[in-house]
């Protein structure tokens, strides 16, 4: 406890020190002559940026908004005229790669917040106008409230992406969520459709909605109509806990219930859980109570189909042990993970059940326990927290996210193992959590995660699910070491690294459409013909994809500009319900629904996607692909792909990430309409 308070004191002291520097810099700017102000404003920007990255920093800037503006921080910019600012332009400023633009926009929003709260009477804009402007800004930038930064933001902004999120958390807390409630609800459902493992941020947003609903001073009017299902899924899914009575009261209410009443409760919980992907803290209370009431009610409470029920009956003792050890009110998502794991039927694979028995009793190293406590606190033991993470990953293998970390390769590997080779995943967890070391082999040579120098991530990632929290740092170092072993080889190192890192099923055949030395497009048409022949059912003899395959995409932003290279998993290629051939893939970036520009919009629902899948029409997917693996012994018909189809794909490439990678003659030849 003392340490925690000490940390708070340290943080507060750091903020106070930065604020003193900011006040000094502001005063120097205010006292400078007009021609000298540009030279003085740099220090204000740099210090303000550091302040806003601290807890309480945005509130402190808000209190200084008037002094900052009067000192001249907005001089010579559009922000000097708040009455002409347009809310729809804020996403471009806030996601800009230019730190000054991001800081200026943030300072402007905090200034308008001070105006809206009548703390600053502005000569050019009224409190009502400022309030209306900020509600529009909140609605337009909803993703900044509760989604992790995208690859584009990570590449272009770095820590600035965290600044914008701190800004919007402060704006929303102050302005009030009721003004953006409808957009917020739509966004929550969109995220939940992807069934992420990490739902704490979504639960916090739903809690905010519930607070708004319960506050008599907040008039939601006609907004928030779709919120009831979300709020009730967490705080009152069934009749016996409808008014959110508290866990102890609910446990007492269960005691006198007969079988019919318990079945009614069980069905209500299961329906809410499978409808939203969220689990109420009341659900574990019921589940633990039902351990003594027979398998039928347990299956009802988990919402199992015939497959899941059979699995439950075959592995009754194991399921009971998993519930006793891993399912608590503080680990409610373990219920959903357990249900979906049983539905997958993976316990019938001979190694999985004994591996889960090992997981239940796994002794965690001191380092692992400390990491878990730092990330998740002490509400349950680190072992129970890890068990929740294991159940969620095995139940939702496509719900893994990389957080705000450049570790897409490691997140992809964990997802692929949970999806395709669950006992191997459990072995990795045991090694990382118990031994603080993972050993993998590269071309016959053992690689230790402890002996490897460093990984892709410069800091230990903390914003991850429990399994990733412990395993990713080890995988990251091994992946980087495999890359170092390929130094000096001709071509792209992924050719050798991916099959060794991900598993034997990753194809040993490898194609890339970029020359590694020059960055120019290379043998593009041949690359595309080969991809079609390997994966498109019309050109590969209608052979479905058997094992998920690692692939690399060129990520573009909504203006189709190149952002960077990104690791994904190609899962399947099928006709969607509208008879369009689509590629379905796993993207570890926390939110797969993205606009990649040139009308290439990644879908996560509505086109036959399963939970956690992203999809694009095959042509559009091929236009963002730059690396794929294949089995060299299974070749389709290269010649059968029509030139028309290839030209459409090449047009997409030339209008986006390939625009500066091709000779002018080629660019002109393929730049027709999509």
Structure confidence by residue, pLDDT tens digits, 205-250? 888 788 777 777 666 666 667 788 999 999 999 999 999 999 999 9
Q: Is the pLDDT of residue 291 over 80?
A: yes
Within 13 Å of residue 441, how many CA atoms lie on the same side as its CB? 5
Using a pLDDT cut of 70, give the percent of the chain over it: 92
CA of 163: how far to CAs of 44, 354, 392, in Å? 16, 45, 30
Report how far residue 121's alpha carbon sits from residue 365's, in angstroms, rounded to the nearest whole number: 57
Contacts of 337 (CB under 8 A, 6+ apart): 197, 388, 390, 391, 392, 393, 394, 395, 396
CB 584 within 8 A of CB 573: yes
Q: Which two tokens stand for residue 658?
A: 């390939």
pLDDT reported for residue 674: 39
CA of 125: how far to CAs of 16, 69, 75, 81, 113, in Å? 31, 14, 17, 9, 12
As a whole number, mean pLDDT of residues 410-414 equals: 95
pLDDT reported for residue 623: 97
Q: Which two tokens stand for residue 356?
A: 């889960």
Backbone angles phi, psi at 633, to 5 degrees: -90, -10
What would the pLDDT profile of 517-572 be if each residue is shown by its tens digit? 889 999 999 999 999 999 999 999 899 999 999 999 999 887 788 888 999 999 99
Q: Is the pLDDT of residue 665 over 60?
A: no
DSSP codes of every residue in 353-366: HHHHHHHHTPPPPH
As a whole number, mean pLDDT of residues 126-132 equals: 85
Domain residue ranges of the chain, discontinuous segments joined by +: 509-669
CB 197 within 8 A of CB 392: yes
Backbone angles phi, psi at 310, to 5 degrees: -60, -45
Which candidate, 82, 106, 84, 108, places its Cα nearest to that of 95?
106
DSSP codes of every residue in 620-673: HHHHHEEEEEE-TT----GGGS-HHHHHHHHHHHHTTTTTTSS-HHHHHHT-S-
What would the pLDDT profile of 91-115 be if each residue is shown by its tens digit? 888 887 788 999 999 999 999 999 9
pLDDT reported for residue 668: 54
Long-range residue pairs from 305-314, CB within 8 A, at least 24 positions apart, any chain: 305/343, 307/342, 307/343, 307/345, 308/339, 308/342, 308/343, 311/342, 311/343, 311/345, 311/347, 311/348, 312/342, 314/347, 314/348
Report how far residue 618's alpha carbon sits from residue 539's, in angstroms, rounded to the nearest whole number: 12
- Helix (H), strand (E) at residue 615: strand 614-617
Instruction: Report residue 1's pLDDT band, with 50, 70 and 90 as the boundaries.
Output: very low
Backbone angles phi, psi at 549, to 5 degrees: -120, 135
pLDDT reported for residue 508: 93
What would the pLDDT profile of 220-231 be if each residue is shown by its tens digit? 666 667 788 999
CB 512 within 8 A of CB 626: yes
pLDDT reported for residue 603: 95
Long-range residue pairs from 261-265, CB within 8 A, at least 24 positions apart, any chain: 262/286, 262/289, 262/290, 262/293, 262/297, 263/297, 263/300, 264/238, 264/239, 265/238, 265/239, 265/240, 265/301
pLDDT reported for residue 3: 45
Contacts of 173 (CB under 8 A, 6+ apart): none
* Mean residue pLDDT across the chain: 90
pLDDT reported for residue 664: 54
Report how far residue 480's alpha carbon sits from residue 473's, in angstroms, rounded to the nearest whole number: 11
Which candidate, 509, 505, 502, 510, places its Cα nearest to that of 442?
502
Q: How many CB atoms within 10 Å of residue 304?
A: 21
pLDDT reported for residue 639: 73
Name the more confident of 152 and 260: 260
pLDDT reported for residue 453: 66
Which candidate, 462, 469, 479, places its Cα nearest to that of 386?
469
Which candidate, 206, 260, 252, places its Cα nearest to that of 229?
206
Contacts of 397 (CB under 8 A, 6+ apart): 415, 416, 418, 419, 612
Q: Which two tokens stand for residue 564?
A: 């960077």
Q: Is the pLDDT of residue 10 over 50?
A: yes
Instruction: Report residue 670's pLDDT band, with 50, 70 and 90 as the boundaries.
Output: low
pLDDT reported for residue 2: 42
What are the start-end ranges of the E strands in 528-592? Answer: 549-556, 562-575, 581-586
Name the more confident of 664 and 552: 552
Report the predicted TM-score, pTM, of the whole model to 2 decimal places: 0.82
Which candidate, 91, 186, 206, places its Cα nearest to that of 138?
91
CA of 1: how far to CAs of 4, 5, 7, 14, 80, in Å? 5, 6, 10, 20, 46
Report how far residue 416's alpha carbon sits from residue 512's, in angstroms, rounded to the nearest whole number: 21
As a whole number, mean pLDDT of residues 150-169 equals: 80
Which candidate, 472, 469, 475, places its Cα nearest to that of 375?
469
CB 350 within 8 A of CB 419: no
Which candidate, 523, 516, 494, places its Cα nearest to that of 629?
494
Q: Which two tokens stand for residue 71?
A: 């000192």
Beta strands at 445-448 and 549-556: parallel, antiparallel or unpaired: unpaired
- The residue assigned the tokens 């609903």 is 213
As a whole number, mean pLDDT of residues 418-430 equals: 97
Q: Using DSSP, state whether 114 is helix, strand or coil.
A: helix
Report how far residue 549's alpha carbon sits from residue 674's, in angstroms, rounded to the nearest whole number: 28
CA of 80: how far to CAs of 108, 154, 170, in Å? 9, 29, 22
CA of 195: how far to CAs of 278, 395, 610, 614, in Å? 9, 10, 10, 12
**Count, residues in the chain:** 674
Which candidate, 456, 420, 410, places its Cα nearest to that of 549?
420
């Amino acid at each position: 406890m003392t340490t925690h308070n000490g940390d708070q004191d340290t943080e507060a002291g750091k903020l106070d020190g930065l604020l003193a520097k900011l006040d000094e810099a502001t005063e120097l700017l205010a006292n400078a002559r007009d021609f000298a102000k540009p030279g003085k404003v740099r220090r204000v920007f740099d210090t303000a940026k550091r302040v806003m990255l601290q807890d309480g920093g945005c509130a402190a800037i808000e209190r200084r908004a008037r002094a900052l503006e009067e000192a001249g921080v907005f001089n010579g910019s559009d922000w000097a005229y708040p009455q002409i600012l347009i809310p729809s332009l804020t996403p471009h400023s806030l996601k800009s790669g230019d730190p000054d633009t991001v800081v200026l926009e943030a300072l402007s929003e905090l200034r308008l917040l001070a105006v809206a709260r009548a703390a600053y009477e502005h000569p050019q804009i009224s409190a009502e106008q400022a309030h209306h402007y900020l509600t529009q800004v909140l609605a337009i930038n909803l993703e900044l409230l509760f989604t992790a930064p995208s690859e584009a933001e990570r590449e272009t902004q770095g820590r600035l992406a965290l600044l914008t999120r701190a800004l919007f958390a402060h704006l929303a807390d102050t302005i009030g969520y009721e003004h953006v409630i409808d957009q917020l609800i739509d966004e929550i459902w969109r995220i939940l459709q992807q069934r992420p493992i990490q739902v704490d941020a979504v639960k916090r947003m739903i809690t905010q909605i519930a607070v708004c609903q319960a506050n008599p001073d907040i008039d939601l009017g006609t907004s928030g109509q779709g919120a009831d299902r979300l709020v009730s899924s967490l705080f009152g899914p069934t009749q016996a806990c409808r008014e959110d009575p508290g866990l102890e009261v609910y446990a007492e209410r269960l005691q006198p219930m007969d079988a019919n009443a318990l079945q009614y409760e069980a069905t209500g919980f299961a329906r809410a859980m499978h409808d939203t992907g969220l689990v109420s803290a009341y659900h574990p209370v019921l589940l633990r109570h039902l351990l003594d009431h027979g398998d039928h009610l347990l299956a009802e409470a988990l919402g199992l189909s015939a497959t899941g029920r059979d699995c439950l009956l075959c592995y009754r003792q194991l399921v009971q042990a998993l519930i006793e050890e891993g399912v608590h009110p503080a680990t409610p998502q373990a219920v959903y993970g357990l249900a979906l794991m049983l539905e997958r039927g993976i316990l019938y694979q001979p190694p999985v059940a004994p591996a889960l028995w090992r997981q239940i009793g796994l002794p965690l190293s001191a380092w692992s326990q400390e990491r878990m406590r730092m990330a998740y606190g002490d509400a349950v033991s680190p072992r129970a927290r890890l068990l929740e993470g294991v159940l969620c990953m095995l139940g939702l293998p496509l719900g893994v996210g990389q957080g705000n970390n450049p570790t897409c390769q490691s997140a992809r590997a964990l997802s692929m193992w949970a999806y395709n080779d669950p006992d191997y995943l459990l072995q990795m967890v045991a090694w990382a959590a118990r031994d603080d070391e993972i050993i993998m082999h590269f071309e016959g040579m053992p690689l230790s995660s402890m002996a490897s120098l460093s990984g892709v991530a410069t800091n230990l990632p903390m914003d991850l699910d429990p399994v990733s929290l412990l395993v990713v740092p080890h995988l990251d170092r091994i992946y980087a070491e495999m890359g170092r072993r390929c130094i000096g080889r001709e071509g792209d190192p992924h050719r050798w690294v991916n099959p060794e890192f991900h598993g034997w099923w990753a194809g040993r055949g490898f194609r890339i459409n970029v020359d590694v030395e020059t960055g120019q497009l290379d043998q593009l048409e041949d690359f595309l013909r080969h991809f079609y022949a390997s994966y498109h059912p019309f050109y590969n003899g209608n052979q479905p994809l058997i094992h998920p395959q690692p692939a690399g995409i060129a990520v573009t932003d909504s203006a189709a500009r190149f952002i960077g290279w990104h690791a994904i998993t190609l899962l399947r290629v099928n006709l969607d319900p509208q008879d369009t051939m689509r590629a379905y893939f796993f993207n570890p970036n926390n939110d797969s629904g993205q606009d990649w520009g040139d009308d290439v919009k990644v879908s996560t629902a509505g086109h036959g996607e399963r939970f956690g899948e992203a999809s694009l029409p095959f042509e559009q997917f091929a236009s963002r692909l730059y690396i794929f693996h294949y089995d060299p012994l299974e070749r389709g018909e290269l010649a059968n792909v029509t030139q028309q189809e290839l030209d459409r794909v090449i047009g997409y490439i030339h209008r986006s990430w390939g625009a500066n990678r091709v000779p002018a003659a080629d660019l002109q030849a393929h730049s027709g309409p999509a």
